[in-house]
Structure 1
Amino acid sequence: MLLRFALLAALAAAPFSPAAAQTAPGAPSAKLVANWGLTDLAAAQAKAKATGRPIVAVFSGSDWCAPCVKYEREVFAQPAFVAYAKDRLVLAHFDFPQKPQNQPAPAQIKRNDAAKAQLNREGEFPLAVVVAPDGKILGKIGYVTGGPTGFEAYLKTLLGK
C-alpha cells in the first residue's frame, strides 16, 4: 500500500518536474530550454548599454516552483519567443533551486543573490523583470498566459515597440 502511494505521488509530481518539461510530448527541446543568454546581471547590464536593448531578467526555482517550469516551457523556451528576443532583448536568467544536487556553483549563487537583491527583493517566483538599458526597472510580471504571444504583447505595451 505504501509503495502504491509513493508511486502515485511520484506520478502526480512528474508533470511539474524540469525533466518532464523538457521531455513531455510537444515540449521544446533541451537545447531551447537551455537557451538563456546571461546568468550575470552586471554582464547583462553591460550588454544592454552597448546594444541599447532592454534586459528581461527571469527569476525561477527550477526544482520546486511548478509555475516557473510552466513559464519556461510555455513562453521562454518556445521558438517564437527565442526568435522575437534574438535581436530585441538581452536575456538573463537567475535560478534558485532548492535541492542540494541542483545547486549552482558558489560563484553563480553569489551572482543570483546579487541580482535578486537588486531586482527581486520581494522574492517572487516566477518573475520577469524588464530593465531599460540605463538600469531603470520598467516593469515586473509573473506568469503570463497566452504563451510567447501573451508575453510579447506585454513587452510591446511596456516598451512601445
Structure 2
Amino acid sequence: MKKIFVLLCLMVNVVGSAQEWNTELEAAKRKAVAFNKNILLVFSGSDWCIPCMELEKKVWQTPEFKAAAQSDWVLLRADFLEKKGDPEPVNVNDPKMILTEKYNRDGFFPFIVTLDKYGKVIGKIGYEDFDTADEYIFLFRKMRK
C-alpha cells in the first residue's frame, strides 16, 4: 500500500507542475518522508500583512522559487486571513492553530520555519528585504540539514 501511495505521489508530482501548498502537518510529513525532502513552513496573513503580500509576489509566485520548491521542499502554509465582523471562537483543532502552537507561539508574520521530514525545526527566519527570490532560496537552502 505504501508503494502505491509513493507511486501516486510521484505521478502527481510529475504530471502536475503547479505549486502545491499543504495546510496540514501530517500530510506534509508523509510527503517529505516519501520524497526525502525538508518542509518549508510559512506563516502568513495573505490579505492583511504587507510583508506577507510582498513575499507572495517577490518569492512564492516566481518561477525560480517554484522550480526550487519542486526539487527541494514540501510546502506547508498556515495562512491567517483577516476576519471581518465579530470574532469567531478559536478552534484548537484547526490545522493552522496546531502549527502555530507548535512552531510560532509568538505569532510572528511572516515567519518561515524549515523542518526536517519528521517535523523537527532546522531553522527559522522572518521577513528579509531581499530584492530577488534567489536570495530567499539561497537562505532557505542554507538552513538544510
1:62 counterpart (25, 31, 46): 46
The aligned counterpart of 2:135 is 150
Partner AA of 2:107 in structure 1:
G
Per-residue deviation, 1:146: 3.1
- 2:131 pairs with 1:138: no
2:27 counterpart (43, 60, 81): 43
SS at match of 1:125: coil
The aligned counterpart of 2:144 is 159
Q: CA-to-partner distance for each residue in 1:88-113, whole Å, 9 max, x for gaps?
A: 11001110012339xxxx98x80111
Q: Which of the pair is proportionally richer in helix?
A: 1
% identity of equivalent residues:
35
SS at match of 1:57: strand
Equivalent residues, number: 124
Rounded Cα–Cα distance in structure 1 between residues aligned with 2:24 and 2:47: 20
1:86 counterpart (70, 75, 98): 70
Kept in 2, the 8 Å contact 1:63–1:99? The answer is no
Listed as ranges, the gaps of 5+ residues in structure 2 are: 1-17
Partner AA of 1:72 in structure 2:
E
Partner AA of 2:62 in structure 1:
Q
Listed as ranges, the gaps of 5+ residues in structure 1 are: 1-33
Partner AA of 2:134 in structure 1:
T
Per-residue deviation, 1:128: 0.9
The aligned counterpart of 1:118 is 102
Change (3 A) 1:36 1:100: farther
Rounded Cα–Cα distance in structure 1 between residues aligned with 2:132 and 2:23: 23
Extract structure 1 runs of 4+ deviating beyond 4 A. none
Partner AA of 2:103 in structure 1:
L
- The structure, 1 or 2, with the larger RCO (C-alpha pairs under 8 Å, 6+ apart) is 2
Partner AA of 1:115 in structure 2:
L
- Report the TM-score when normalising by structure 2: 0.76
Rounded Cα–Cα distance in structure 2 between residues aligned with 1:143 and 1:114: 22
Q: CA RMSD in A?
A: 2.5
SS at match of 2:136: helix
Q: Which of the pair is proportionally richer in strand?
A: 2
